[in-house]
Amino acid sequence: MTRVVVGMSGGVDSSVAAALLKEQGYDVIGIMLRLWSEPPVIGDDGVELVAENKCCSLESVNDARRVAAALDIPFYVINVEQPFQRTIVDFFFDEYAAGRTPNPCLRCNRHIRFTLLLERALALGAEYLATGHYARVDDDPATGQRRLRQGVDAAKDQSYMLHVLSQNQLRHALFPLGEYTKPQVRALAAERGLPVATKAESQEICFVAANDYRGFMRRYAETTGRAAPRPGPILDAAGKQVGQHQGLAYYTVGQRKGLGVTAREPLHVLRLDPAQNAVVVGSAAELARDAFTVRQTTWTSDSAPSAPFTAQVKLRYKAPLVGATITPLAEGRAEVRLDAPARAITPGQAAVFYGGAEGDEALGGGLIE
In a domain, 152, yes or no: no
Do 120 and 15 share a structural domain?
A: yes
Do 247 and 340 share a structural domain?
A: no
Distance in angstroms (rounded) separating the CA atoms of residues 368 and 4? 35
Q: Report the pLDDT value the prediction gives residue 210, as an integer from 0 to 100.
A: 78
In a domain, 115, yes or no: yes
In a domain, 219, yes or no: no
Residue 16 sits in which domain range?
3-132+176-211
Q: Report the pLDDT value the prediction gives residue 45, as an integer from 0 to 100.
A: 65
Q: Which of 258, 289, 255 is nearest to 369 (CA)?
A: 289
Q: Report the pLDDT value the prediction gives residue 46, as an integer from 0 to 100.
A: 63
Do 351 and 249 share a structural domain?
A: no
Do 272 and 124 share a structural domain?
A: no
Residue 185, domain CATH: 3.40.50.620
Do 363 and 254 share a structural domain?
A: no
Cβ distance 177 to 133 under 8 Å?
yes
Q: Which residues, at least 6 apart from 320, have a Cβ–Cβ distance to it below 8 Å? A: 314
Number of domains into which the chain is organized: 3
Strand 27-34 and strand 3-7: the pairing is parallel
Do 39 and 118 share a structural domain?
A: yes
Exposure of 135 by Cβ count < 10 A (0-12 exposed, 13-18 middle, 19+ buried)? buried
Q: Give the active site residues.
A: 108, 206
Q: Report the pLDDT value the prediction gives residue 116, as an integer from 0 to 100.
A: 98
In a domain, 309, yes or no: yes
Do 121 and 38 share a structural domain?
A: yes
Residue 343, domain CATH: 2.40.30.10
Radius of gyration of the chain (CA): 22
Q: If you write DSSP's letter for every residue of 130-187 in order, what string do you get?
A: E---SEEEEE-TTT--EEEEE-S-TTT--HHHHTT--HHHHHTEE-TTTTS-HHHHHH
Last residue of a domain, one of 220, 255, 286: 286
Do 349 and 277 share a structural domain?
A: no
Backbone angles phi, psi at 223, to 5 degrees: -80, -20
In a domain, 305, yes or no: yes
Q: Which of 135, 1, 8, 122 is nearest to 71 (CA)?
A: 8
Do 125 and 9 share a structural domain?
A: yes
In a domain, 160, yes or no: no
Please list the residues that pair with 3 across neighbouring strands.
Answer: 27
Q: Which of 320, 287, 288, 311 is nearest to 366 (CA)?
A: 311
Residue 279, domain CATH: 2.30.30.280
Do 271 and 307 share a structural domain?
A: no
Do 206 and 303 share a structural domain?
A: no
Do 200 and 51 share a structural domain?
A: yes
In a domain, 362, yes or no: yes
In a domain, 143, yes or no: no
- What pLDDT tens digit does each residue of the chain (369 aa) get? 999 999 999 999 999 999 999 999 999 999 999 999 887 766 666 666 555 666 778 899 999 999 999 999 999 999 999 999 999 999 999 999 999 999 999 999 999 999 999 999 999 999 999 999 999 999 999 999 999 999 999 999 999 999 999 999 999 999 999 999 999 999 999 999 999 999 988 777 888 887 888 989 999 999 999 999 999 999 999 999 999 999 999 999 999 999 999 888 999 999 999 999 999 999 999 999 999 999 999 999 999 999 999 999 999 999 999 999 999 999 999 999 999 999 989 999 999 999 999 999 999 999 999
Cβ distance 332 to 195 under 8 Å?
no
Total count of residues recorded for the chain: 369
